Amino acid sequence: MQKGSSSKKIRPPQKQNRPGTESKMIPVPVSDYPEKPGCDKLKNKVALITGGDSGIGKAVAILFAKEGADIAIAYLSETSDALDTAEIIEEQYGRTCLLIKGDLSKEKHCGKVVKKTIQQFGHLDILVNNAAIHFENKDLRHLSTASLRKTFDTNIISFFWVTKAAIPYLKKGSCIINSSSVTAYRGSGSLIDYASTKGAIVSFTRSLSANLAKKNIRVNGVAPGPIWTPLIPSSFDSQKSAKHGSDVPLQRAGQPAEIAPCYLFLACEDSSYMTGQFLHPNGGEIING
């Protein structure tokens, strides 16, 4: 696979049914740089990653495994992507990967995800709240209540539910990392509900970090810009998907493997004096947030 820095060309127009499949994307997203060795920064840790089957979550899961962690992945329905991710984690990097299929917009399932993780591994050190959806809508009057609730339940309410279930198992030195978006800081005219959930994630992260500071559980987040993931061709029309990311200063969408190191930094001891903060891998957009 070529590195993301070589992907400035506009991609072919493409459209997929939701939630999208990585293997059908042209080009296939870059999830790993196998030539870069790990350094055991997460040796014997256990990480639970929601939405870890594809996109940014997949790249984070692979990088965490490369650094010595066992992985639990909660995903909706993209079994082929999930199995591919698990294969890389187990066969290339020798770590265990637990796949947990189901709808995180349901509170009961969020509790099951944490329970199954503990049953499999016995402990939990890192929680990455990452699962998200969006539906493009250029006129707020056309935003249905069902779609609005689905976006909020998946993108932010699930963060509350999964985190609430996980906190009893987190100990001193554990950490939580939440995925927000550049849209939390500058808004989005056609993704009003999505951007609103991402803004809520920023406030959730800052508030939770204050709540858990005395327990020495750090809470930080990452706010990516345009990244080439299945969310794009499954959400936008073919022409918009082709040009995704071309309007940022670096003039291209980022690759998931370029974003994953931000999560690794926040998960390991390198960031031991950081909590309540966000990193901004967004192709050069200045958001002052």
C-alpha to C-alpha distance for 177 and 266, rounded to whole angstroms: 7
Interval 192-209: pLDDT, tens: 999 999 999 999 999 999
Question: How many residues can be counted in the chain?
Answer: 289
Question: Residues with catalytic annotation?
Answer: 194
Q: Taking the domains of the chain in order of start, what are their residue ranges?
A: 37-279
Interval 236-273: pLDDT, tens: 877 888 888 788 999 998 999 999 999 999 999 999 99
* Tally: H helices and E strands in the chain: 9, 7
Tell me the pLDDT of the chain averaged across its residues: 92
**DSSP one-letter string for 65-128:** HHTT-EEEEEESS-HHHHHHHHHIIIIIT---EEEEES-TTSHHHHHHHHHHHHHHHS---EEE
Residue 5 clears pLDDT 70, i.e. is over it: no
The verdict on domain 37-279 having CATH code 3.40.50.720 is yes
Rounded to the nearest 10 degrees, what angle do helices 55-66 and 256-267 cross at? 50
With CA atoms as reference, report the closest residue to 235 among 132, 115, 162: 132
Interval 24-43: pLDDT, tens: 888 888 999 999 999 999 99
C-alpha to C-alpha distance for 112 and 183, rounded to whole angstroms: 30
This prediction has a pTM of 0.93
Residue 6 clears pLDDT 80, i.e. is over it: no
Q: What is the pLDDT of residue 289?
A: 67
Burial class (CB in 10 A: 0-12, 13-18, 19+), 140: exposed
For residue 22, the one-letter residue type is E
Give mean pLDDT, residues 35-62.
Answer: 97
Cβ atoms of 99 and 86 closer than 8 Å: yes
Interval 125-141: pLDDT, tens: 999 999 999 888 889 99
Residue 284 clears pLDDT 60, i.e. is over it: yes
C-alpha to C-alpha distance for 122 and 6, rounded to whole angstroms: 42
